[in-house]
Structure 1
């Protein structure tokens, strides 16, 4: 297991902590793989009842890391080649689906920024708790990038109108706004205590019934969209290779407005 995803166990509860404060807990390939591995293990663990996903260092998750994609930004794919970006991007989509499919209750505890892919993680939670310092956004379109893999999860959590507003504007929303919109279920100044209280209250739900209920919900949510990771990866890869993405990401790095916003 990656040291960038720390897992601690307390009886029937595991805490999965994104632990790379230097990158604001960005979703590198290593972290995504570790999340997928943790989900696969937890899916077979009948003694585990609750998973708490959280960040460290005052951040939840800054979103996807473009490190492995850097050489492809703004570059056309050579004719006849299968785009490697598609498999890498789809891997994150499969990790999100695995989080939603966990047989355990998934509590997401948010302190600090939850951006892009980080918001996707939030939207996988059965229950989302946050501090007033939490802030949420899907800034991809302002960078010339598509919020490809997170789109179905944001849409599922917020509904069509609010999901469109978030993903098409890229604007940040505060913790209070997130509570008002239903993205967050509870605001608290003491996140660990609030998580403990919530778990205590949820212990009245029978583990087997929870597992089957979550499986049924997963079937309902995924039935019409089983190929979404692949379709989203196609759009992500095509867009990342475009001049638009090159301009948007360069503008962000240079702290200036991209050409289309000037």
Structure 2
């Protein structure tokens, strides 16, 4: 299959005309109704063309960018290569850099165009598995830190502290300034931490737990995760590629599949079992994490929630995974209605394995870690994960998620919700 370069040449010219049109306008929040309509029509037209190109040529484009799938490019590297190799197909790096400096309300939404490209790749049964594997490879940062961690057993990252004790990698979320709310920094740190735990041969099992907080309301108490940082979403600091997609295709997928380390005939992936301990609450992304871990404990005064409808965004891959745990009706109540699940409720046992008194958490965690340290656990959890969520199913979901999440975070209702949250936090 070859790429229709003549079609792409026409697209490059149209992209330049669009750039000129938008450059002549003020930022989106102060445009007139006529300017907004003209910008929307031009963007819609070029996005339709980009979608048609990717529907036909995704495999050929991906093969060319990866030298016949001999090079593993992460999604940011792949987009940069596409911008250089196929002008007009995706936004330029300079455009994305300028866009990143704007508040969310003043962005043009170029991430939507990146999502169109990635949807085409992830829909391809040939390209998608290779891209998923590229995202499962260890990060350069983790490889740089690995020798020091292997020797000391400690890695102090900004939002995560990693400590190896008796074969257990303790990953402690320590963003006490924001109740472990998720942002780009946390995604990078968590992928690094997960890589370190998976790559260190002295680690048998991993533990995720929130650290003590300094927030006045929760001072001294452990908190698992407050979900996406809406204040940073409002300010334009929650990027599609480096946060929303890297999170799902990077460290969360590695928690399921493991890290790709080679081409051994046994398995190219190195995976290990994981325990989560939920103190106080696991909101949004925190609750999503629990769906991929092997044993979940919750303090009896904790709760879980997926406030997607309130925030206006898609709750990661929870729409794919949650029904396996709860059934379709409760999943709809949680995702569409925002129903919280308190650990004391019977329904909580669909989402967590143990509910214990807060003062008994440490002992219960120790017992769970010991159980998952058995030699037969890793292979059995691998087979369970393959049975429950096949990679092709995950790729198809992520193809649609990439586009729909990009559309949502640039929609007026999400921007308004995030801005209102930021104002409330600023006044507090």
TM-score (norm 2): 0.52
Q: 2:390 is matched with which residue: 188, 213, 222?
A: 222
Structure 2: how far apart are the matches of 1:178 and 1:235? Answer: 33
1:14-49 deviations in whole A, cap 9, x for unaligned?
110000122001112111112112222333333321
Q: Write the mapping of 1:110-189 to structure 2, written as runs, cut at 5 A.
A: 110-177=278-345, 180-189=348-357
Deviation at 1:67, TM superposition (A): 5.1
Gap change, CA 1:202 and 1:225, over 3 Å in 2: closer
1:78-135 deviations in whole A, cap 9, x for unaligned?
xxxxxx6255311111222112224222110000111000101122220111111211
Tell me the secondary structure at the aligned position of residue 21 of structure 1: coil
Which residue does the alignment assign to 1:100? 256
1:123-153 deviations in whole A, cap 9, x for unaligned?
2220111111211111121122221343333
Deviation at 1:183, TM superposition (A): 0.6
Unaligned runs of 5+ in 2: 1-155, 213-221, 259-270
Deviation at 1:174, TM superposition (A): 0.7
Range with greater deviation from structure 2 (180-189 or 166-175): 180-189
Which residue does the alignment assign to 1:11? 166
Gap change, CA 1:219 and 1:131, over 3 Å in 2: same
- State yes or no: 1:212 paired with 2:363: no
Range with greater deviation from structure 2 (147-156 or 64-73): 64-73
CA contact under 8 A between 2:288 and 2:316: conserved in structure 1? no
Q: 2:204 is matched with which residue: 49, 56, 70?
A: 49
Tell me the secondary structure at the aligned position of residue 163 of structure 2: strand
Which residue does the alignment assign to 2:370? 200
Which residue does the alignment assign to 1:33? 188
Structure 2: how far apart are the matches of 1:105 and 1:197? Answer: 14
- State yes or no: 1:235 paired with 2:385: no
Gap change, CA 1:151 and 1:96, over 3 Å in 2: farther
User: Aligned pairs, how many?
Assistant: 242
Range with greater deviation from structure 2 (152-161 or 192-201): 152-161
Structure 1: how far apart are the matches of 2:304 and 2:202? Answer: 33
CA contact under 8 A between 1:86 and 1:234: conserved in structure 2? no
Deviation at 1:176, TM superposition (A): 1.7
Tell me the secondary structure at the aligned position of residue 164 of structure 2: strand
Gap change, CA 1:192 and 1:22, over 3 Å in 2: same
CA contact under 8 A between 2:205 and 2:372: conserved in structure 1? no
CA contact under 8 A between 1:144 and 1:249: conserved in structure 2? no
CA contact under 8 A between 2:227 and 2:283: conserved in structure 1? yes
Tell me the secondary structure at the aligned position of residue 25 of structure 1: coil
Larger proportion of helix = 2
- State yes or no: 1:85 paired with 2:240: yes
1:207-251 deviations in whole A, cap 9, x for unaligned?
xx3222222233231332224334313211101111121233344
Gap change, CA 1:45 and 1:158, over 3 Å in 2: farther
By relative contact order (CA 8 Å, sep 6+), the higher-ranking structure is: 1
Structure 2: how far apart are the matches of 1:85 and 1:187? Answer: 35
CA RMSD of aligned residues (A): 2.4
Range with greater deviation from structure 2 (158-167 or 120-129): 158-167
